[in-house]
Amino acid sequence: MPLFEKILIANRGEIACRVIKTCKRLGIRTVAVYSDADAGTLAVEMADEAVHIGGAASADSYLRADRIIEACRKTGAQAVHPGFGFLSEKSSFAEALAAAGIVFIGPPVGAIQAMGDKIESKLLAKKAGVSTVPGHLEAIPDVETAVQIAKGIGYPVMIKASAGGGGKGMRIARSDDEAREGFRSATNEAKSSFGDDRVFIEKYVEEPRHIEIQVLGDQQGNVVYLGERECSIQRRHQKVLEEAPSPFLDAETRARMGQQAIQLSKAVGYYSAGTVEFIVDKHRNFYFLEMNTRLQVEHPVTELVTGLDLVEQMIRVAAGEPLGFRQGDLKLNGWAVEARVYAEDPARGFLPSVGRLVRYVEPATGSTVRIDTGVTEGSEISIYYDPMIAKLIGYGPDRMAAIRALSDALDAYYIRGINHNTAFLSSMLAHPRFQEGRLSTNFIAEEYPEGYKPADPRPDVKRRLVYAAAAIQRRIAERETEISGQSGLRARQLADWVVHLGREPHAVSLKPHSSGFLADSSLGPAVIESDWFPGRPLFRAQVDGTPIVVQVDRKGPRLILSHGGATVDALVLTPGAAQLFEHMPVKAPPDLSRFLLSPMPGLLVSVAVKPGQAVKAGEELAVVEAMKMENLLRAAADGTVKAVVAKPGDSLAVDQVILEFE
C-alpha cells in the first residue's frame, strides 16, 4: 500500500516538479496548485491533477492557506508537501492543515514556532548547549537605538530581520552611518517580505564560512545528521554555489557540529528534514545561525553524497514510519557541487531578468549531472516569483571531478530569451581560489570587487574558441556552396581563414581529416572532430581528444560563441576579406552617462533628488524595488540634475530613463 494515496504540493516551479518525481516513484498521486501566472507550467503538466488557487501575486495564491486547504478537500489529498518558501515555515499553515485533518509533510508546529523567530531560536539554541554568536537578541525599536547597540557590540555587525530568510532584511554595518542606513533598509525589506519589521543585531564574523548540517528525524524521537553542506559562495546573502561535503571541515569538527545540530533538534522535538545553519570562522570555531524547518533549496548535493531521497524520507516520516537507519549506517560517498541558474544579469549587478525562454536546451543528465527545474522551452520568467531557472548539480568521486562535471554541463546549457548567470557560474568554478577551496561568504565581493564583468577567455579557452569558430564557419561555407550550386568552389577557398576575436586576428588553416579537420595556427596544431552542421545551437567536438561544447549564435556575419565562462564575438573571414577588414573604422558606442537608467524592470519606490539639485558621486538618487528587494541607485559622478523623468510608483522597464543630468 502507498504511504499516502494523494499528496498536494503547495508550491510551484522546480521544487513542485521535484516532489512530484518522488511521489510518482512511490506510487502516490499528486495535485499541483497554480496561480494565474503559472497555468500550463511544467509542474501543472506533471501532476495528476491541478487546481487554480488565485492571482499571480503570491499573496493572492501561494500564500493563501485557505485556498490550498480547499484544494485538498476538492481533490481528496491526504497530505501537503510545502516545498520551500511560501507557507513552508508558517506554523499557522501547519495548524490549519491539522484542523482540517490533513497531514503536513514537515516538522511539528512547536518546532516551526521555536525556530521561526530568529531571536527566540538563538536563545533556545544557547540553552540547548549550541554555540551562538555574540549579539543583542531583542527587537530594536528605532534607528538611534540600533546605532548604540551596534557600537556596544563593536563593528562590524549584522542587522537581521527576526522573521527573515532568503537573504532579505539583512545588512552589514561597519560604521554609525551604515548602521542607520542598514536599519532602515532591513526593516523596510522585512516588512515588505514577511509582514514583520522586527530586527536584531549580532557580531559579524570576519572571514566567515556558511556551513550547514542536514538533520533528519522521525516521530519516534530518532534524529541523525547527514553531513554538511558548504554554502559560502553567496551574493546579497543568497547562496549561489553549494557543495557537499565542505572542503574545510575535518572529521572532528563535522562530528561536533552534527552533534550540536541533533541536540537542538531534540530540544524542540524535531522530526522530518531540517537544516541547522552555522557560521564558521577561519579557526573552525562555529556559531549557530538559524534552523530552517523545511527542505532546503540545496538538498540535492546531500542526496547525491548520501544516496538518500530526502523528499521520500519526509513523506515516510509524515506517515509515521521510523527512520530505516542510524547514524553509524550513514556514509558520505563522492562529492557534489550545485549551481543555482538564475534569470539575472551578472554584468548589471545581478539584477533580475524577466521574459520568455525562447530557446532552452538542457545538458545531458546521468551519473555525473543532475538538473532540477520547473521550466521548459517557452516558459516565462515572471516578475512575481524568484528568478531561478534551475539547479544544476555535478557529481564525481572527488571535488575536482564534481567541478569538471558541473563546468561541462554549464557549457552545454543553452538558454536564450532572457539574461542568465551561467557564464558567471563558470567563471567562479574556474577561479583558482574556488578550486583550492579557500572560500568565505565574502568570496564574490573580494574576487569581483567592481562587480562581474565578462573577462577575456583564458589561453586554453581562447584556443578552443578560435578553432571552433574556424570549423563552424567552414561548415557554414560548405553548406552555402551546396545550396548555391557552386560545386566548383576551389578547396583552397575553404581551407584558409582568419578568425577575429574582437580586433585580434588568428590565421587558421583547415584540412579535412576523419570526421573533422586538421587545424593549424599560431596557437599550435590541433585535431578537431565534430559532426556539427548549421542550425545546431551547440558545437560538440573533440579537440585533441578532449570533449568540448561551444554554444553558437549568429549575429549577421558574426558568430557569438560561448565556452568556459567566456563569450566572444568572432568574425571569420577569408584572407582577402580580412585584409580589407583591417581598414574598417571602429564605431563608438552612444554616450549614456547623462542619464540614470533603471538597471532592471521594477517599481520606482522613491526619488531622492529634484531638478537643479547638485549631487556628489555616491549620493542616493532613487530606489527601485524588484522581486521584493530594494535596490539603491547612486550617482556615479558629481553632477546636476536636469530633469526627473519618472515618478515614484511608476513601473519601469530595463534601461528606462529615471533622471537626466546637465
> How much is the pLDDT for 485?
57
Q: Which residues contact 206 (CB under 8 A, 6 or more apart)?
A: 156, 281
- Cα distance between residue 323 and residue 207, in whole Å: 37
Task: Cite the active site residues.
Answer: 290
Where the chain has pLDDT below 50, the residues are none
Residue 590, preceding bond cis, omega within 30 degrees?
A: no
Say what angle helices 422-430 and 399-411 make with each other, to 10 degrees.
Answer: 150
Q: Which domains does the chain have, with CATH numbers?
A: 6-105 (3.40.50.20), 134-203 (3.30.1490.20), 209-447 (3.30.470.20), 459-581 (3.30.700.30), 595-661 (2.40.50.100)
* Backbone phi, psi, residue 531, to 5°: -105, 20
Check residue 484 and give its pLDDT.
61
Axis-axis angle for helices 118-127, 251-267 (nearest 10): 110
- Amino acid type, 389: I
Given CA atoms 94, 98, 99, 100 in this order, what sign does their dihedral have?
positive
**C-beta separation of 357 from 341 below 8 A:** no
Decide: 297 and 310 in contact? Cβ < 8 Å: no
Contacts of residue 311, defined as CB under 8 A and 6 or more positions apart, other chains included, come to 18, 19, 22, 81, 295
Q: Which residues contact 62 (CB under 8 A, 6 or more apart)?
A: 10, 11, 12, 33, 35, 53, 86, 87
- Gap between the Cα atoms of 524 and 509, Å rounded: 11
Cα-based distances in Å from 373 to 17, 43, 162, 227, 387: 7, 10, 30, 25, 12
CB 179 within 8 A of CB 150: yes
pLDDT at 627: 64
End-to-end CA distance of the chain: 74
Q: Residue 486's pLDDT is what?
A: 56
Residue 416: in which H helix or E strand, if any? strand 414-416
The three three-digit cell numbers of residue 357, written as one number: 525562454
CB of 57 closer than 8 Å to CB of 32: no
Contact 179, 147 (CB under 8 A): yes
The answer to whether the Cα torsion of 281, 285, 290, 295 is positive or negative is positive
Per-residue pLDDT at 63? 97
Report how far residue 289's alpha carbon sits from residue 259's, in angstroms, rounded to the nearest whole number: 16
The answer to whether the CB of 466 falls within 8 A of the CB of 474 is: no
pLDDT of residue 110: 96
At residue 585, φ and ψ (nearest 5 deg) are -70, 155
d(CA 138, CA 261): 23
At residue 121, the 3 state secondary structure works out as helix
6-9/29-35 β-pairing: parallel
CB contact at 8 A, 341 and 388: yes
In the Cβ-directed half-sphere of 593, how many Cα atoms lie within 13 Å? Answer: 7
Q: What is the pLDDT of residue 590?
A: 80
User: Is beta strand 546-555 parallel, antiparallel or unpaired with respect to 558-563?
Assistant: antiparallel
Q: What is the DSSP string of 260-294?
A: HHHHHHHHTT--EEEEEEEEE-TTS-EEEEEEE-S
Structural contact between residues 164 and 132, judged by C-beta atoms closer than 8 angstroms: no
pLDDT for residue 654: 83
pLDDT at 492: 56
Which value, in Å, is the radius of gyration of the alpha carbons in the chain?
27
Say if residue 10 is exposed, middle or buried (CB neighbours under 10 Å; 0-12, 13-18, 19+): buried
Q: Which of 254, 253, 267 is nearest to 226 (CA)?
A: 254
| Residue 288 β-bridge partners | 132, 278
* Strand pairing category for 209-217 and 157-165: unpaired
At a CB cut-off of 8 Å and minimum separation 6, what does 204 contact?
156, 157, 158, 172
